[in-house]
Amino acid sequence: MLVSRAVLSLTSFPNRKLFSSPSSLARARRLRNPRMASVSTIRASAQKLQSPDELIDSVETFIFDCDGVIWKGDSLIDGVPQTLDMLRSKGKRLVFVTNNSTKSRKQYGKKFETLGLNVNEEEIFASSFAAAAYLKSIDFPKDKKVYVIGEDGILKELELAGFQYLGGPEDGEKKIELKPGFYMDHDESVGAVVVGFDRYFNYYKVQYGTLCIRENPGCLFIATNRDAVTHLTDAQEWAGGGSMVGAICGSTKQEPLVVGKPSTFMMDYLSNKFGILKSQICMVGDRLDTDILFGQNGGCKTLLVLSGVTNLQMLQSPNNSIQPDFYTNKISDLLTLKAATV
């Protein structure tokens, strides 16, 4: 039997009417930062997934995190193609969401293709795309510019959405010469600073972004995500986008608008774009504090897979207050278990 969640999470991205009402930069600035979740501690403990059929039948859309769910580094996780095929054959909508902002949707599409997965670009939602989609949703003026602390994916998505930008990889080699009286100019038409993971992060970018946020009236501070770690290579954990965002928080004393998980912006966007009820969505991920919280913040069903960063001990630790509805080893359990119950 499916057990419904004892308590619905209360935090949601505060712009659920974003796509149907007039919006402005001024309004966007008032949006609260939804990164802190208010999940109640009385939520029931996660159940081991026993009846995948019931879960599959109860939802219309599956949202999958990618790293640790679909692949690990450059290797596909066992049984993924068959599981996706089975879900498609049952008429389910599949969506792939990632906080990694270094690639655009198109670049992600190629990664899926290389791994032999038949996934359409339109089904992929990376936080690079979310940053551009967010700016579109607030009618960010086309005569304003975006300063980017981040990699190529963000630039590509901004370009596709028709926004002017500066910064990104080309500022990676820039240095500040601190001669007496040196003054650093900045572009006064920058109306938003987008910060994501950036392996070419440097002091020039910190100072440029800080000047824009501090001195350009109404300039937005948008973060693709605040993840502490990322998986640049599968050999170890790497400092994530949270470090670039933390640097700008430290110099501006401002908090960013987060468009990636666990903020519900992408969930709101998907729900609006495809006309899906959030209760008809199951969020599948390997991280409690991003994926599962993202699903819960959005009011969706949640399934934790143990094929990524979270193990059973971490899930069941008394220090963990984030409990998904269900957990299982890997997404292909949906197949195996299904076969077992037939």
- Paired with 285 in beta bridges are 304
Tokens representing 108?
Answer: 């992600």
Q: Which amino acid is at 312?
A: L
In whole angstroms, the minimum distance from the beta carbon of 33 to a second copy comes to 14
Tokens representing 297?
Answer: 């913040």
Catalytic site residue 268? no
In whole angstroms, the minimum distance from the beta carbon of 102 to a second copy comes to 10
In whole angstroms, the minimum distance from the beta carbon of 294 to a second copy comes to 18
- Which parts of this chain interact with a second copy (CB under 8 A)? 73-74, 176, 178-184, 198-203, 206-207, 210-211, 214, 226, 228-229, 232-240, 242-253
For a second copy, the closer of residues 91 and 182 by Cβ is 182
Catalytic site residue 67? yes
In whole angstroms, the minimum distance from the beta carbon of 141 to a second copy comes to 26
Taking only Cα atoms into account, the Rg of the chain, rounded to an integer number of angstroms, comes to: 20
For a second copy, the closer of residues 1 and 235 by Cβ is 235
In whole angstroms, the minimum distance from the beta carbon of 140 to a second copy comes to 24
Instruction: Please state, in angstroms and rounded to a whole number, the distance separating the CA atoms of residues 315 and 213.
Output: 39
Residue 258 CB partners (closer than 8 Å, separation 6+): 33, 34, 35, 222, 223, 224, 225, 226, 265
For a second copy, the closer of residues 191 and 240 by Cβ is 240
Tokens 């992929």, residue? 124
> Residues annotated in the binding site for Mg(2+), as ranges?
65, 67, 286
**Strand (E) or helix (H) holding 170:** none
Tokens representing 275?
Answer: 């006309």
Q: Which residue of the set 53, 57, 65, 289 is catalytic?
A: 65
Instruction: Please state, in angstroms and rounded to a whole number, the distance separating the CA atoms of residues 18 and 23.
Output: 7
For a second copy, the closer of residues 262 and 299 by Cβ is 262
> Residues annotated in the binding site for substrate, as ranges?
261
Q: Which residue of the set 57, 67, 74, 291 is catalytic?
A: 67
For a second copy, the closer of residues 16 and 111 by Cβ is 111
DSSP 73-137: TTEEPTTHHHHHHHHHHTT-EEEEEE---SS-HHHHHHHHHHTT----GGGEEEHHHHHHHHHHH
Instruction: Please state, in angstroms and rounded to a whole number, the distance separating the CA atoms of residues 229 and 239.
Output: 5
> Residues annotated in the binding site, as ranges?
65, 67, 261, 286
Which are the catalytic amino acids? Answer: 65, 67
